[in-house]
Amino acid sequence: MHYRRLGKSGIKISELSYGSWVTFGTQVDEKLAGELIKAAYDQGVNFFDCADAYAEGKAEVLMGKAIKGIQRETLLISSKVFWPTLPGPNGRGLSRKHITESIHTTLKRMGLEYLDLYFCHRYDPDTPIEEVVRTMNTLIQQGKILYWGTSEWEPAQIALAYGIAKENNLIPPTMEQPQYSLFHRRRMEEHVMPLASELGMGLTTWSPLFQGLLSGKYNDKIPTGTRVSLENYTWVKDRITPERIGRVRQLTELAKELGCTTAQLSLAWILRRKEVSAIITGATRLEQLD
């Protein structure tokens, strides 16, 4: 495993990491979650990604149980806040109230005293950026989180948050979590990477296999028992277009020539960029994780 700096911060993050969206609490039960996290950790993965909204909190519970027994200091554990977790107008977003209440619930669910990384899961147009920056700064001062970041924020919004933090002597965002893969590259390369380099922010990128499509598993047919057959994820099927499958088939040919799998080539293509600190992978089986 290689470790990269998270932007200009002092921590080192495994360039391959493991996340729990869709999988934990849905396709992956407690026992399997424990096996997958242990296997990833044994291969050198130190960053495990979660969010308050994943499987309505079940993913945080499972991840918390799965990391029990691993030395806490060797891990980087994240969660996120923004998407609705409670009914009512204040059970969502990035208000000081919701962030504060959500982090308390997250820490309880995971059985942790602090998170290493905490992400604002989207930009909240109803909360002033200064309120968000001040709240994150407070959580760092309280020792509940160590580094804060954004996810899928527009570069201008990130720059604003950074500027507000600097002007007010507060801690600016350390990282952004954007989507990046062979099928989703332009926004990242043209807008997000230049800003991240300028500000010294780390990038922890998501959906590296474009929901599994870039593993080549859909090249010939739609196999059963995958993400697309889950009740709430049928929209993933719409992304498996004949045009995309045609391109993945070409990628598979290239991978064969190189003597690797299509998934390995897709991940290696992301790792070529030094702006990327860590790729967050997803896996429902030990073979996929390998």
Ligand X SMILES: NC(=O)c1ccc[n+]([C@@H]2O[C@H](COP(=O)([O-])OP(=O)(O)OC[C@H]3O[C@@H](n4cnc5c(N)ncnc54)[C@H](OP(=O)(O)O)[C@@H]3O)[C@@H](O)[C@H]2O)c1
Interface with ligand X by CB under 6 A: which residues?
Answer: 19-23, 27, 49, 121, 151-152, 177, 206-212, 215, 217, 226-227, 263, 280-284, 288
> Residue 42 CA to chain centroid, in angstroms?
20
Of 98 and 166, CB closest to ligand X: 98
Give every CB contact of residue 194 below 8 A, 6+ residues apart in sequence. Answer: 155
Of 142 and 208, CB closest to ligand X: 208
How many other C-beta atoms lie within 10 A of the C-beta of residue 10?
A: 8
In sequence order, what DSSP letters do the residues of 58-100 get, joined into one string?
HHHHHHHHHTTTS-GGG-EEEEEE-S--SSSTTSSSS-HHHHH
Q: Looking at 3, 18, 41, 54, which residue is catalytic? A: 54
Phi and psi at 204, nearest 5°, equal -110, 105
CB 277 within 8 A of CB 203: yes
Q: Residue 273 and residue 27: Cα distance in Å, rounded? A: 31
> Residue 54 CA to chain centroid, in angstroms?
11
Residue 167 CB, shortest distance to ligand X, in Å, is: 27
Residue 159 CB, shortest distance to ligand X, in Å, is: 19
Of 188 and 263, CB closest to ligand X: 263
Q: Residue 96 and residue 157: Cα distance in Å, rounded? A: 18
In the complex, residue closest to ligand X by CB: 19
Residue 169 CB, shortest distance to ligand X, in Å, is: 28
Per DSSP (E only), the strands in the chain are 3-5, 12-14, 16-19, 47-49, 76-81, 115-120, 145-150, 175-176, 202-205, 276-281
Residue 9 CB, shortest distance to ligand X, in Å, is: 18
Phi and psi at 238, nearest 5°, equal -65, -20
Residue 49 CB, shortest distance to ligand X, in Å, is: 4
Place of tokens 């507000």: 164
Of 159 and 230, CB closest to ligand X: 230
Of 42 and 169, CB closest to ligand X: 42
* 18 carries an active-site annotation: no
Which among 277, 289, 226 has a CA at the least distance from the CA of 22?
226
Residues with catalytic function: 54
